[in-house]
Chain A
Amino acid sequence: NAGVTQTPKFRVLKTGQSMTLLCAQDMNHEYMYWYRQDPGMGLRLIHYSVGEGTTAKGEVPDGYNVSRLKKQNFLLGLESAAPSQTSVYFCASSTQGGWGPQHFGDGTRLSIL
């Protein structure tokens, strides 16, 4: 049982490039989330999904897009990367939405030059 798996673990991009971060969970969870973590700012929600085929905006959605075509996968896209998007990105999933434990992946460290 792998839990929540994020791919890749590290990535360096140039400004203006695009990329997709993949999150996969094998716990049959309905809810999935993408957060970014910056020093001194905690975890900020980018986008989330309450089930297959649904997505919604979080606190800091600008510059990101997401898709949840399959229940087990939640993709985060950066269309045109900017240095301000340098961060550690965490994916999480849960069975109870905000009411219960969120299970996090190991994170993706993304640097935009």
Chain B
Amino acid sequence: GENVEQHPSTLSVQEGDSAVIKCTYSDSASNYFPWYKQELGKRPQLIIDIRSNVGEKKDQRIAVTLNKTAKHFSLHITETQPEDSAVYFCALYGGATNKLIFGTGTLLAVQP
């Protein structure tokens, strides 16, 4: 079935630096790519998403880019702050599966 690989599994940055998390996938028919943030002990929450007809989407300090040819999409966080510390999950939908498939998560630690 469809599978999504997420890297890195952990990421430590200094406050103010940028952070990038990348996900790769195999099914070229996938066409919806959301990102979820999960703070420690809390529920996952959608922070940004992108559809396959768009190459990039921004919302304040976060952005998502999609490269359909190379089958990868990335989350970019600029000017990181301690409250950005959380686990981030990529996901994708579409193609052969009727389900949202999640990546294994990236633990982001922003050091003050």
Contact = CB atoms under 8 A, between A and B. Distances in A.
A65 B68 CA distance: 37
Given A99-B32, A104-B45, A106-B43, A42 B105 contact: yes
A104 B42 CA distance: 10
Contacts of A43: 44, 89, 102
A43 B90 CA distance: 10
B81 interface: no
B68 to A, nearest CB: 17
Contact of A98 (B42, B89, B94): B94
A43 B104 CA distance: 7
Contacts of A107: 43
A45 interface: yes
Contact of A106 (B42, B99, B100, B103): B42
B99 A45 contact: yes
Contacts of B1: 59
A106 B6 CA distance: 24
Contacts of A106: 42-43
A48 interface: yes
A74 interface: no
Interface centre among A41, A43, A102 (most CB of B within 10 A): A43
B105 A45 contact: no
A104 B32 contact: no
Given A98-B99, A98-B100, A104-B44, 7 more contacts: A40-B9, A40-B105, A42-B103, A58-B99, A59-B1, A97-B93, A98-B93
